[in-house]
Structure 1
Amino acid sequence: MSVFYDVSRFSEYDVYLFREGKHTKLYNHFGAHLMHREGNHGTYFALWAPNAEAVSVRGDFNNYDPNSHHLKKRDDDSGIWEGFIEGVEAGITYKYHIYTKEHNPNPLKADPFAFYAEKAPASASKIWSLNFYKWRDKSWMHSRKKHNSHHAPISVYEVHLGSWKKAEDGSFLTYTQAAHKLSKYLLEMQFTHVELLPITEYPFEGSWGYQVNGYFAPTARYGNPDELMEFVDIMHQAGIGVILDWVPSHFVMDGHGLMNFDGTCLYEHKDPRKGYHPQWGSAIFNYDKDEVRSFLISSAMFWLEKYHIDGIRVDAVSSMLYLDYAREEGDWIPNEFGGNENLGAIKFLKDLNSFVYGAFDDIMMFAEESTAYPMVSAPVDLGGLGFGFKWNMGWMHDTLKYMKNDPVVRKHHHHELTFSFVYMYNENYILPLSHDEVVHMKGSLINKMAGDYNQKFANLRALYAFMTAHPGKKLLFMGCEIAQFSEWNYKQSLDWNVLEYPNHKGVQNLVKELNRLYKEEPSLYKFDTDSHGFEWIDERDYKSNVISFIRKGDKKDEPIIVVCNFSDCLRENYPIGVPKRGVYTEIFNSQSKEFEGWGATNTKPLKTEAKEQHGRTNRLLITLPALGVVFFKKNR
């Protein structure tokens, strides 16, 4: 086999953009690309290693000989090494041998731009082409803008593919197998989108994908790249959007990865006060470096372009924004103005969202951000970070804290229930009940609920109903919809057997019905991110543990009256002021028998009384079940 150097996938403009931090499609240039050269089949390799003395490609094709296939440095400035190796075809494994000035303890590196890799714990990259899969999701792609809009119903099912369900022999489902089973389940449960915990290649199973090594390669645990494309395709044909959990905040320190890539801290900061994450034992990207920003932005663009991903959830944004995140005094370095903001990371996030939304106006960018950093979901040109949505971690923390309290003392914690309504339109929020709440000895959601066995289920049903009614898009982690008692364990399948028990089946039926209502009632979703969509009826009845409010859509959309009773007392003839006189029907009751509730429903339509209540001239007298949430809608 021969190496040819008179071939390149880089123009001078590509190199310029790369070095300016403005190249958004580096995956078309770096990495391993199957191609023809003067009638010869082979693979073009390109690598960024500016501080290397030499680079060779070692693989199946040369018995991993470090000396037989050297790449050539493109020029004196770019740090790009490249070359075409004849006869190297798809499926062949390879690594780069990085020769450095000083002894390099880890000279063999996986390709940072590889499209595919060996299955862990093996760590070599694999030659693969992404050009052969035939997509069948044209209809979805043409119409997905309406599904991903701020004015659309967005109810996300968060999934770890390795533990949602297992194959009969206990092995992982493949991407394709999972797609067929999961798409049917999502349709049955009325979810609109699925979010995958990170499937970018990672070495350690116990990291759940959050310790990433391959930013352009789907994990081989579940199959090859074409099979992931088929997963997305099947979801799209079923009308389900796909969101990818993505981790640009830190990366794994395994020897074959990005750490000390060319014998120097190429991707990370050299000073551990900026380059090492003490909480996660991982390396932090150097966002001040233009080439690193190009690398990360290209990764996001790659999944959107090549895999038709509908949205990206950016993990741990808070850790990126602040230089002192998870650090003690003296363990961090202030920025040039003496502050704790990571200016390079802020620039990266703004550039990321500007480039991504500039290329795809029909996708979604989500920030997992847990602080009060301003304008996370505001446009960049208005001074924001440019995300489409922000996770409402405050709502999650306060609400779960409230639900843990015994109803007897909840009146003393009423602010935990109502505080989220004060700031609910400061950002474009999504309400998350995610994987982070059911691991690390935190207990499952059902186990967080106060009370005895039956009260726990009633509280959980009320929580899900409250979540559906509260402004903001919705996210629920797998297993929570069946009230699984055990914490999530990534090593095993969900406890699907609990559905043999009525209370668990009742919660599943409730989640299904709430998703249906959320999708079919515009007043519950159309203004999730706009103050036109909400109006209080009464937030002050703390002694009864009751709040009531109205969710509104356009003028043509009938409002939904929501009343939440978080006490353990049945309240009959409870007065509620309503906006219009007429007849109202209960369209949902979390204590309905169909959800294995305790009954106490408003079985007949209710007519308003012309009496003042809550500042309104008409009122309803309703039956308000203990630990229950009810929705009413006016008859036309």
Structure 2
Amino acid sequence: MYQSMGAHPDEVNGIAGTRFAVWAPNAQEVCIVCDQNHWKHGEFYLNSSDAGVWSGFMPGVSSGDAYKFSLRGQNGEFFEKCDPYAFYSELRPKTASIVYDLENYPWQDEQWIQKRAETQWHDQPITIYEVHLGSWKRPKDGRQFFTYRELAKQLVEYVQQMGYTHIQLMPITEHPFDGSWGYQTTGYFAPTSRFGSPHDLMYFVDYCHQAGIGVLFDWVPGHFPTDGHSLGRFDGTCLYEHADPRKGFHPDWGTYIFNYGRNEIRDFLLSSAHFWIDKYHFDGLRVDAVASMLYLDYSRKEGEWLPNPQGGRENLEAIQFLKDANISLHGEYPGILTIAEESTSWGGVSHPVYNGGLGFNMKWDMGWMNDTLRYMHFDPIYRSHHQGELSFRMIYAFTENFVLPLSHDEVVHGKRALISQMPGDLWQQFANLRLLYGYQYTMPGKKLLFMGGELAQWEEWNHDQELDWKLIGLEKHDGIRRLIGDLNHLYRSEKALYETDFTPEGFAWIQCDDSKNSVFAFQRTATDTEEHVIVVANFTPVPRDGYRIGVPKPGFYHEIINSDAKIYGGSNMGNAGGVYSEKISSHGMSHSITLNLPPLGLLIMKPVSTPQKPAKKIAE
């Protein structure tokens, strides 16, 4: 629909101008208002069709010109609206749409797009850096924001250094209120003008692709704001939203909910999803608040919601929309990813539609995040009573294709930064955080970390200021950053840590019931079952000397990561680079190794044919 709706520069009979089209079936008349007609209603009328689409060609309006639609409603009232299909908008607090020609950007990412189409991401490493562009870094020259082009160079260099495979942008669709972080979108086809023009954003994505970095796009089809210039009551009636507030108004966020059962609205949203991948070459969508779309009673009390025709609480229209979106996106753009933020136990979110699923590639594992952080919040002396909170995850770990997220949601609204959530004295807080990250990177599932987590910044995220970059150079904070970099590079290089993220054959507990010592041990195995690593985690500050762990085969076990290493800010307790196995049975295996487990530490051990010196760390 974006090819015909909205504003498109054109030429008719040798006269340059712009074609306009907008859907407003209940309006009595629609005009274009702009500088050329002094923003007066009645100076340039659009013609209506039987489908309720108003269209026309206005001479003299060209790329860069601001405009709005001025509508007269059924009761004679006048109001101005921005273009639902606008490609560009004025910088807030202004709200007019801007004519923009998206064509003629010189893309240079053909190799990336071809490789993407040939990639099966389920058995590939995916480690995602979640970024809010407005607060990652800010310029020192008085400007509020860097441009997309400036951010491309700085961010790609940093992400490459840290070893991430993908950047995930929090919503950059146009939005009027900075404090919504982009989740209250007014422009479903317009990148926010805070950071520059549409071509500037294309440059950002192109630059990332040429550097081998994928870019995911945070997309919000679950709700939209009530701002007067936006989609709400667009032609004086409930057009994009349900008329009944029990289906059309979201009580948590004070926003409208799309009417997924109306074909024009489904086309609008499906077009938006395709648009960002088609025109901007994004590598996929992270779909926000899917749970709020699936349930009619989401965050509602009895009597505040309407059941579906079968009497159930499932939103059948939204479910069908999500299925249609995934079918069409994956059919047209092979190799892209769709990832659901879905916080309930809804079955089959990441299963194919033909198998009864919703068709997403992956789903955020909110259960892992909640259980793990709750466990980490306990003082280690009490963790022995909560062993099951970590081991429980493996009961359901392969029912979906999970991403393990430590996202922006965990460091806002008074929750504090991750380092501040860790118990104990200063040393234990940093050790606990290193242990948390090590555990995240070794459990089955793709990885996501919100910006700033790698710096161990003390203050929770504030969208109005940049990250606490002055922490770089401080030993303990640098240790966390080095560890994240090494975990990223190790995860990408060790098939056992990523090839079988979604299959039970790739994981086996070795020790999960030693609650007395709060020790966990498990094996990760690649598709080639000869390739595996052993992970051992000590969740107490008590060192464990001579702790015996069963291993699947004899040989030398190289210590490839020790979260307690000195370069990470730890006490440097370990195993001198590795240990030989012994023919002593343990944990149901005929061979075993004895390890010195560092306090609040995690070890990753890999069997090798011959002993070797520890590999030089990337961060060094």
TM-score with structure 1 setting the length: 0.95
Query: Does the CA-based 8 Å contact 1:393-1:432 persist in structure 2?
Result: yes
Tell me which residue corresponds to 2:57. 84
Tell me which amino acid in the other structure corresponds to 2:41.
P
Distance 1:124 1:503 in 2: 48
Distance 2:530 2:246 in 1: 54
Tell me which residue corresponds to 1:539. 512
- Counting only pairs closer than 5 Å after superposition, residues 146-185 of structure 1 correspond to structure 2 as 149-170=121-142, 171-185=144-158
Correspondence 1:450 to 2:423: yes
Tell me which amino acid in the other structure corresponds to 2:98.
K
Tell me which residue corresponds to 1:129. 101
Tell me which residue corresponds to 1:477. 450
Distance 2:342 2:282 in 1: 21
Query: Which of 343, 347, 369 does residue 370 from structure 1 map onto?
Result: 343
Query: Which of 109, 112, 117 does residue 140 from structure 1 map onto?
Result: 112
Correspondence 1:464 to 2:433: no
- Counting only pairs closer than 5 Å after superposition, residues 301-320 of structure 1 correspond to structure 2 as 301-320=274-293
Tell me which amino acid in the other structure corresponds to 1:113.
Y
1:399-445 Cα distance to aligned partner (Å, 9 max, x none)? 00000001111010111111111111000000000000000000110
Distance 2:82 2:282 in 1: 25
Tell me which residue corresponds to 1:248. 221
Tell me which residue corresponds to 1:72. 47
Distance 1:556 1:386 in 2: 29
Distance 2:365 2:35 in 1: 48
Distance 2:453 2:441 in 1: 14
Tell me which residue corresponds to 1:35. 10
Query: Does the CA-based 8 Å contact 1:365-1:389 persist in structure 2?
Result: yes
Query: Does the CA-based 8 Å contact 1:112-1:215 persist in structure 2?
Result: yes
1:353-400 Cα distance to aligned partner (Å, 9 max, x none)? 011111112100000000001100000111100000000000000000
Query: Does the CA-based 8 Å contact 1:316-1:369 persist in structure 2?
Result: yes
Tell me which residue corresponds to 1:359. 332
Tell me which residue corresponds to 2:606. 633
- The alpha-carbon distance between structure 1 residues 219 and 557, as it changes in their structure 2 partners (threshold 3 A), is farther
Tell me which amino acid in the other structure corresponds to 1:118.
E
Correspondence 1:59 to 2:34: yes
- Counting only pairs closer than 5 Å after superposition, residues 486-635 of structure 1 correspond to structure 2 as 486-555=459-528, 558-635=531-608
Tell me which residue corresponds to 1:115. 87
Query: Does the CA-based 8 Å contact 1:523-1:557 persist in structure 2?
Result: no
The unaligned stretches of length 5 or more in structure 1 are 1-25
1:551-601 Cα distance to aligned partner (Å, 9 max, x none)? 111227620100011011101111010000111110000000110111111
Distance 2:263 2:499 in 1: 40
1:88-131 Cα distance to aligned partner (Å, 9 max, x none)? 110000000111111436x1000000000000110000000110
- The alpha-carbon distance between structure 1 residues 147 and 474, as it changes in their structure 2 partners (threshold 3 A), is farther
Query: Does the CA-based 8 Å contact 1:274-1:333 persist in structure 2?
Result: yes
SS at match of 2:429: helix
Distance 2:440 2:395 in 1: 16
* TM-fit CA distance, 1:188: 0.3
* TM-fit CA distance, 1:500: 2.7
Distance 1:145 1:605 in 2: 41
Query: Does the CA-based 8 Å contact 1:52-1:100 persist in structure 2?
Result: yes
Correspondence 1:423 to 2:393: no
SS at match of 1:131: coil
1:494-516 Cα distance to aligned partner (Å, 9 max, x none)? 00111231100000000000000
Distance 2:508 2:100 in 1: 54
After the TM superposition, which of the residue ranges 144-153 and 79-88 deviates more from structure 2?
Answer: 144-153
Query: Which of 319, 328, 333 does residue 306 from structure 2 map onto?
Result: 333
Query: Does the CA-based 8 Å contact 2:117-2:333 persist in structure 1?
Result: no
Tell me which amino acid in the other structure corresponds to 1:459.
N
Tell me which residue corresponds to 1:20. none
Query: Does the CA-based 8 Å contact 1:32-1:43 persist in structure 2?
Result: yes
- Counting only pairs closer than 5 Å after superposition, residues 181-220 of structure 1 correspond to structure 2 as 181-220=154-193
* TM-fit CA distance, 1:605: 3.0
* TM-fit CA distance, 1:38: 2.1
Query: Does the CA-based 8 Å contact 2:506-2:526 persist in structure 1?
Result: yes
TM-score with structure 2 setting the length: 0.97
SS at match of 1:464: helix
Correspondence 1:48 to 2:23: yes
Query: Does the CA-based 8 Å contact 1:148-1:363 persist in structure 2?
Result: no
Query: Does the CA-based 8 Å contact 1:158-1:477 persist in structure 2?
Result: yes
Tell me which residue corresponds to 1:300. 273
Distance 2:121 2:90 in 1: 37
Identity %: 51
Distance 2:430 2:75 in 1: 62
- The alpha-carbon distance between structure 1 residues 65 and 59, as it changes in their structure 2 partners (threshold 3 A), is same
SS at match of 2:8: strand
Query: Does the CA-based 8 Å contact 2:578-2:605 persist in structure 1?
Result: no
Distance 1:61 1:602 in 2: 76
Distance 1:334 1:546 in 2: 47
Distance 2:12 2:529 in 1: 63
The unaligned stretches of length 5 or more in structure 2 are 610-620
SS at match of 1:538: strand
Distance 1:103 1:540 in 2: 72
Tell me which amino acid in the other structure corresponds to 1:481.
E
Tell me which amino acid in the other structure corresponds to 2:113.
M
Distance 2:578 2:444 in 1: 26
Distance 1:400 1:88 in 2: 55
SS at match of 2:349: coil
Distance 2:394 2:472 in 1: 34
SS at match of 1:117: coil
Distance 2:346 2:104 in 1: 43
Tell me which residue corresponds to 1:17. none
Query: Does the CA-based 8 Å contact 2:219-2:285 persist in structure 1?
Result: yes
- The alpha-carbon distance between structure 1 residues 618 and 557, as it changes in their structure 2 partners (threshold 3 A), is closer
Query: Does the CA-based 8 Å contact 1:147-1:154 persist in structure 2?
Result: no
Query: Does the CA-based 8 Å contact 1:148-1:154 persist in structure 2?
Result: no
Tell me which residue corresponds to 1:400. 373
Tell me which amino acid in the other structure corresponds to 2:467.
L
Distance 2:96 2:31 in 1: 14
